[in-house]
Amino acid sequence: MVGMLFLLNFTFSIFHYFHFGRMKSVIFVKNYLVMRVAVVGATGMVGNVMLEVLKERSFPITELIPVASEKSVGKMIEFGGLEFPVVDLTTAVTMKPDVAIFSAGGETSLEWAPKFEAVGTTVIDNSSAWRMDPDKKLIVPEINGDSLTAADKIIANPNCSTIQLVMALMPLHKAYGVKRVVVSTYQSITGTGVKAVQQLENERAGISGEMAYNYPIDKNCIPHCDSFLDNGYTKEEMKLSNETKKILDPAISVTATAVRVPVVGGHSEAVNVEFENEFELADVRKLLHETPGITLKDDPTTNSYPMPRFAEAKDDVFVGRIRRDETQPKTLNMWVVADNLRKGAATNAVQIAELLIKKGILTPMTVGTHN
Ligand code: 2RA
């Protein structure tokens, strides 16, 4: 069945009449509310997870508009028991969705997000296109979601490796003031996309095929995520630095090394944090334990620590291996793991959309009388 999912809210009147001596009723539905959600890049790896997360969290969609490239147009996407046809970007803009969640790369976002904005759609963009634009907000709802206003029509979702880092740093920054962070990442191949997953599977099966990386990824670590910049860092490494400053505090220094590892399920990060103020490890653990969105998993006596295998398909950011850096004062080490496709991408984007509804910024449209 193709069509509308469910009525968000509606007013109705019931007209009763008699037919062959039996009372019959007709319901006239008036002014029903619709929430039309476009998922741009719906057939991609993040797009698929986006649809899962929208479903799981019962996001109040009345009409899904799956958007993908020409080769997928017309394909049906199942959502909530109904099927919705994949459309192209031009068609999607003419449908004027309430919200469009983009996960189709920077170039698509740069070109098309303003076109959606022009028809009144709020865009939540998962690419790097708008993240460092001073006029666009870079949002992790738990940290700076309060800053969103109705004027924010294109909202940037941070990079996956940044989201899990700032989630773990946020409560500690509030308590002790983060001064400097040294982070090394161990990033899942799912962050590169389906081509990388295929490369790993091919290598493990002994099949030669298309390569997502310059080198084999199986039994390897590749210290190269995204492209190199003139300063010798990769874009991924600079995202960690620049985005953390924009979200948390421009005064924080971040230096990063980003590494791709043959792992599916989540990104891991070894994080060294220097604070302005002294801390107690017990307080650090308590703070992290009490922070919504964080799961503390930190007990060396039972070999309990976060790992991507166990973070997979979960929305929390997992923190463990918390210990004092014994080489300098006011400094600790920790290990931070999260599913890069969930909190690192889809979940954070959907949480932004939920927040827009909660704040009354994203309001369902009222459609005229139907019966
Ligand atoms: C990665 N930053 O390489 C990407 C995904 N957004 O993992």
Residues 61 and 120 in one domain: yes
Report pLDDT for 363.
82
Residues 6 or more apart from 254 whose CB is under 8 A from it? 180, 181, 182, 183, 240, 241, 244, 245
Report pLDDT for 13.
44
CATH number at residue 301: 3.30.360.10
pLDDT-based confidence at 367, cuts 50/70/90? low
Residue 137 lies in a domain: no
Residue 69 lies in a domain: yes
Q: How far is the CA of 72 from the centre of ligand 1 (A)?
A: 24
Active site residue 221: no
For the segment 298-323, the average pLDDT, to the nearest whole number, is 98
- Evaluate if residue 318 carries a pLDDT over 70: yes
pLDDT-based confidence at 27, cuts 50/70/90? very low
Residues 221 and 97 in one domain: no
More reliable by pLDDT, 8 or 277? 277
Residue 197 lies in a domain: yes
For the segment 215-223, the average pLDDT, to the nearest whole number, is 98
Q: How far is the CA of 190 from the centre of ligand 1 (A)?
A: 8
More reliable by pLDDT, 370 or 56? 56
- Evaluate if residue 3 carries a pLDDT over 90: no
Question: Could you say which DSSP state residue 370 is in?
Answer: B
pLDDT-based confidence at 344, cuts 50/70/90? very high
- The ligand 1 site (C-beta within 6 Å) comprises 159-161, 187, 191-192, 225-226, 236, 340
Residues 183 and 256 in one domain: yes
For 91-132, what is each residue's pLDDT tens digit?
A: 999 999 999 999 999 999 999 999 999 999 999 999 999 999
Residues 125 and 169 in one domain: no
CA distance 146 to 248: 13
Report pLDDT for 59.
95
Position in ligand 1 atom list of the atom nearest CA 225: 3
Residue 192 lies in a domain: yes
Residue of 183, 194, 233, 236 to mutate, ligand 1, most atoms within 8 A of C-beta: 236
- Evaluate if residue 271 carries a pLDDT over 70: yes
- Evaluate if residue 5 carries a pLDDT over 60: no
Residues 244 and 120 in one domain: no
Which among 16, 173, 224, 267 is annotated as catalytic?
A: 267
Residue 191 lies in a domain: yes
More reliable by pLDDT, 85 or 80? 85
CA distance 254 to 184: 11
Q: How far is the CA of 67 from the centre of ligand 1 (A)?
A: 21
Which residue's CA is the closest to the ligand 1 atom numbered 7?
A: 191
Which residue's CA is the closest to the ligand 1 atom numbered 1?
A: 191
Question: Into how many domains does the chain fold?
Answer: 2
Residues 165 and 286 in one domain: yes
Backbone phi and psi for residue 24, each to the nearest 5 degrees, phi listed first:
-120, 160
Residue 332 lies in a domain: yes
Question: Could you say which DSSP state residue 241 is in?
Answer: H
For the segment 324-328, the average pLDDT, to the nearest whole number, is 98
Q: Which of 3-17, 171-185, 218-232 has the lowest mean pLDDT?
A: 3-17
Position in ligand 1 atom list of the atom nearest CA 236: 2
> Is the CA virtual torsion 198, 159, 358, 108 positive or negative?
negative
Residues 41 and 177 in one domain: no
For 125-180, what is each residue's pLDDT tens digit?
A: 999 999 999 999 999 999 999 999 999 999 999 999 999 999 999 999 999 999 99
Residue 140 lies in a domain: no
For 7-24, what is each residue's pLDDT tens digit?
A: 444 444 444 445 455 554
Run of H or E residues at 180: strand 178-187
Residue 2 lies in a domain: no
For the segment 33-48, the average pLDDT, to the nearest whole number, is 93
Residues 6 or more apart from 58 whose CB is under 8 A from it? none
Residues 102 and 178 in one domain: no
- Evaluate if residue 32 carries a pLDDT over 90: no
Which candidate, 224, 306, 223, places its Cα nearest to that of 271?
Answer: 306
Q: How far is the CA of 237 from the centre of ligand 1 (A)?
A: 11
Domain that holds residue 214: 160-340
Residues 229 and 202 in one domain: yes
CA distance 183 to 245: 14
Residues 265 and 327 in one domain: yes
pLDDT-based confidence at 34, cuts 50/70/90? confident
Report pLDDT for 365.
65
- Evaluate if residue 1 carries a pLDDT over 70: no
Residues 184 and 314 in one domain: yes
Report pLDDT for 33.
66
Cα separation values, 162 from 125, 169, 184, 273, Å: 15, 10, 12, 15
Residues 325 and 360 in one domain: no
β-partners of residue 365 are 34
